[in-house]
Amino acid sequence: MRFLILSDIHANLTALEASLAASKGKWDKAVCLGDIVGYGPDPNEVVDRIRELATVTIRGNHDKVACGLTSADDFNPIARAAVLWTREQLRPENREYIEKLPVGPVSINGFSLVHGALRDEDEYVVAPAQALDSLLEAPSPLTFFGHTHLQGGFSLAEDNSIQALRFKPADGEAFAKLELKKGTSYLLNPGSVGQPRDGDPRAGFAIADIERREVEFWRVPYEVESVQQRMEKAGLPEQLILRLSFGR
Ligand code: ZN
């Protein structure tokens, strides 16, 4: 079974559509690691798409605030402005859908999904030391996480050595492949579809072939300008508009 792994779409429909077009026919089921909305201009369109597309979706920290489950007090002013705009835009049925999304970890087909760290959806897992608890406690040897918007992740080998992994495909390449070793645990981030932060503006996602023990880390270009125009029209903060050009 091949899974399309989507995370941090952040209401960017153009990036999502480009990712789906590039991966067409290459996966059997889709899952989403949260942050469907927040930052971007297309919250309802992206929620509609995920509702019809994904077998399992867990919530992210922006989803939690956008649907009103928690307040935006912990967000920086820019993220807060965007998430409050999102809250106003969401149609009632989409708001309700987000509110009912499960919190990770959720397990499917022998792997697990979380938004941030294993036990805390708001925690950023950036360094190996931060990944260790999640790697040790994960219910399965393979866990996908999001939240940092950085494609790659961490592995924990049988000899207890922990390694940071970067699998960003080179410019002009569609994906980089990781072969999963037996006896090694993995905490892998597919990258962010809608707001990459590793200096590469292309949309990021992953395709995991569970039987073949392979994970492909994809990058796909999309029309950033059209998203920026919609953001401008919506009156979203300028910093959020600009950062899409740089993937920061
Ligand atoms: Zn996010």
How much distance in Å is there from the Cα of 41 to the middle of ligand 1? Answer: 14
How much distance in Å is there from the Cα of 7 to the middle of ligand 1? Answer: 8
How much distance in Å is there from the Cα of 192 to the middle of ligand 1? Answer: 7
How much distance in Å is there from the Cα of 42 to the middle of ligand 1? Answer: 15
Cα separation, 147 vs 114, in Å, equals: 9
How much distance in Å is there from the Cα of 135 to the middle of ligand 1? Answer: 21
Cα separation, 231 vs 21, in Å, equals: 23
What residues pack around ion ligand 1 (CB closer than 5 A)?
A: 8, 35
Longest dimension (CA), the chain: 54
> Cα–chain-centroid distance for residue 162?
23
What does the CA dihedral 20, 33, 221, 198 come to, rounded to 10 degrees?
-170
Has domain 2-243 been given CATH number 3.40.50.360?
A: no
**Tokens coding 123:** 């925690």
**Tokens coding 133:** 């608890």
- pLDDT value of residue 172: 77
**3-state secondary structure at position 33:** coil
Per DSSP, helices labelled H in 70-216 are: 77-89, 92-99, 128-137
How much distance in Å is there from the Cα of 159 to the middle of ligand 1? Answer: 33
How much distance in Å is there from the Cα of 16 to the middle of ligand 1? Answer: 14
- pLDDT value of residue 217: 97
How much distance in Å is there from the Cα of 108 to the middle of ligand 1? Answer: 22
Domain positions in the chain: 2-243
Q: Are 27 and 13 in contact (CB under 8 A)?
A: no
How much distance in Å is there from the Cα of 28 to the middle of ligand 1? Answer: 25
How much distance in Å is there from the Cα of 197 to the middle of ligand 1? Answer: 10
How much distance in Å is there from the Cα of 205 to the middle of ligand 1? Answer: 13
Low-confidence residues in the chain, pLDDT < 70:
168
Taking the whole predicted model, whether its pTM rises above 0.85 is answered as: yes
Q: 147 — phi, psi (to 5°)?
A: 80, -40
How much distance in Å is there from the Cα of 92 to the middle of ligand 1? Answer: 22
How much distance in Å is there from the Cα of 132 to the middle of ligand 1? Answer: 21
